[in-house]
């Protein structure tokens, strides 16, 4: 008898989980989900920029990570360097332009790697918090 009830209970559980309505209780906040989209991702999720570095910066900023300010300042300095290069590339020597471009690319890659690692560490901290539940 119990073995027959297990599939029925499973179907009822899945039907209840996929319901489009969200009930409000004192223990659980109301979350609005996008219709005809995934019921896992809330409507107010942040869209990707299709640039991993920028997405990781956005993640750190929204999560309030302490390293965001320092990394953001460094990222702005590198972008200022690219602006300088764009403005002055026609009057710079070829070797100077090439070396300066390589240096800027290296700095940008380093900052993006630091941001990626900071995002990873933040996720690890969040996972540890979940383990304490």
* Number of domains, the chain: 1
Q: How far is CA 116 from CA 58, 62, 99, 113, in A?
A: 11, 15, 26, 5
- By the 10 Å C-beta count (0-12 exposed, 13-18 middle, 19+ buried), 56 is classed as buried
Q: Is 33 helix (H, G, I), strand (E, B) or coil?
A: strand
> pLDDT grade, residue 43 (50/70/90)?
low
Task: List pLDDT tens digits, range 72-81.
Answer: 999 999 999 9
Region 98-127 average pLDDT: 95
Question: Which residues are CB-contacts of 130 (< 8 A; sequence separation ≥ 6)?
Answer: none
Any domain includes 65:
yes
Any domain includes 46:
no
Task: List pLDDT tens digits, range 15-41.
Answer: 444 444 444 444 544 444 445 555 555
Any domain includes 38:
no
> pLDDT grade, residue 132 (50/70/90)?
confident
CB atoms under 10 Å from CB of 78, counted, come to 19
Tokens of 64: 């309030």
Range of the domain at 63: 52-131
Q: Is 28 helix (H, G, I), strand (E, B) or coil?
A: coil
Any domain includes 104:
yes
């Amino acid at each position: 008898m119990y073995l027959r009830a297990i599939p029925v209970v499973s179907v009822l559980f899945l039907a209840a989980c996929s319901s489009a309505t969200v009930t409000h209780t004192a223990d659980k906040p109301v979350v609005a989900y996008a219709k005809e989209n995934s019921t896992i991702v809330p409507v107010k999720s942040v869209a990707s920029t299709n640039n991993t570095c920028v997405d990781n910066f956005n993640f750190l900023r929204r999560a309030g990570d302490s390293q965001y300010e320092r990394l953001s300042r460094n990222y702005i300095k590198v972008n200022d360097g690219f602006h300088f290069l764009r403005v002055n590339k026609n009057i710079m020597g070829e070797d100077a332009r090439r070396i300066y471009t390589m240096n800027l690319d290296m700095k940008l890659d380093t900052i993006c790697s630091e941001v990626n690692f900071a995002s990873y560490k933040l996720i690890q901290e969040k996972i540890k918090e979940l383990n304490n539940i």
